[in-house]
Amino acid sequence: MSGRMRLFIILLVLNLLVVVVYLIWNHLRRKEKSLSTWMKAGMMLLCPVVGPTFVFVAFWISRLFMLMSMDLSDVVFSKERVETFIRPDEETEKNMVSLEEALEVTDKKSLRSFILNVIRGDYKNSLSSIALALNSEDTETAHYAASILQEVLSDFRVGVQEKYRILDEDEEHIAENCVNLLEYMNPVVEQKVLTDLEQRSMAERMDEVLQKAWTADRQKISSSVYEKVCQRLLETEDYENCRKWCARAREQYPEALSSYTCQLKLFFSCGDRENFFRVMQELKESDITIDNETLELIRIFM
C-alpha cells in the first residue's frame, strides 16, 4: 500500500471519529434538534476536512456574535402587554345598515339620527345614496340630504373651475395637471348626482381635459384614466368621442384588460355585434386574465 493511500485512509478514519464525537457531544448537550444534528453529521462524513472545518468555524463565529455587547438604547422593556390589532366592534356592526335600507325606516327620529351620523363621517363617496334621501317623506331628512349635496357639489364646481383655469399656467406639467383634474372630477361625476345637463357638460369637460393631456404628453396618461373617461362618455351616450379614446387606449396599452373592456362596453352599448365579437376573440387569444365583470358582460351580450 502506498504512502498516499495510507494517509488518505487515516484521514477518513479521523474524520469518522470527529463525526462520532460530534454526534455524542450533541446527544449529551441536547440543545440542537435531532434533524439538524444528523444533517451536519452527514455533511461532515461526505466532505472530509472541509465539512468539520465549516461546522467548527460556523459554531465559533456564532458564539463570538453572541458574546458581543448589543446596543439596546432604542429598546424599551415593559411588562405591559399591548395588543397589536383592533378587535371588531360587534355591537356597532350589528346595527349597521346600508343607506338605501335606512331610508325605508318609518321612525323619523331614527332616520334623522342616521343621516346626521352619515354627515359626521366621510360621505363624499356616498353621494348617490344620499341623493335618494331627497325623496324621503320626512322633510327634515330631505333637508339634511339637500344640504350635504349642495355643499359638496358647490365645492366640486368651484374646484373644477379653479383647477381647469390653471391648467395652462405650468407648461412643463400640463399633462400631470390634466390627469390630476380628471382624477378629481371622476369620483363625483361617476355617482351621477348632477343634473343630466351638467352631467353631460362634465363628461365633455373630461374629454377636453384628456385631449389636452394627450396632446401634451400621452405617456402621462394611465390605462385607468382612459377607462374612467370612456365610461363617463358612455353614460352620456357620446359614442364618437368614446370610440376615439378606446382606440387610443388600445394603441397605447395593448396588454391592459381595460383597453379591451372599454371597447366591449362601447360596442355593447351601440349594439355592434360584429365588432363586439371581434374584440372578444382578440381578448380570448391574448394572455390577459379576464375578470368576472368582463365575463358577465360577454354572457349578457351573447
Indicate whether 269 belongs to any domain. no
Q: Which cell numbers in the block locate residue 41?
A: 453529521
pTM: 0.60
pLDDT-based confidence at residue 301 (cuts at 50, 70, 90): low
Indicate whether 48 belongs to any domain. yes
Question: What's the distance, CA 27 to chain centroid?
Answer: 51
Q: How far is Cα 29 from Cα 26, in angstroms, rounded to an integer?
A: 5
Would you say 261 and 296 are in contact if contact means Cβ atoms under 8 Å apart? no
Question: What's the distance, CA 144 to chain centroid?
Answer: 34
CA atoms within 13 A on the CB side of 58: 7
On the question of pLDDT at 207 being above 80, the answer is yes
Q: How far is Cα 157 from Cα 282, in angstroms, rounded to an integer?
A: 41
Query: Nearest CA to 159 among 195, 191, 186?
Result: 186
% the chain with pLDDT above 70: 73
Indicate whether 181 belongs to any domain. no
Would you say 255 and 222 are in contact if contact means Cβ atoms under 8 Å apart? no
SS3 240: helix
Indicate whether 140 belongs to any domain. yes
- Least confident range from 83-92, 125-134, 263-272: namely 83-92
pLDDT in tens, 264-291: 999 988 888 899 889 988 988 888 888 7
Domain limits at 38?
3-55
SS3 253: coil
Indicate whether 295 belongs to any domain. no
SS3 129: helix
% the chain with pLDDT above 90: 31
Average pLDDT over residues 231-251: 94
Indicate whether 61 belongs to any domain. no
Domain count, the chain: 2
- Least confident range from 58-72, 81-95, 191-205, 267-281: namely 81-95
Q: How far is Cα 258 from Cα 290, in angstroms, rounded to an integer?
A: 10
Indicate whether 115 belongs to any domain. yes
- Specify the DSSP class assigned to residue 196: H
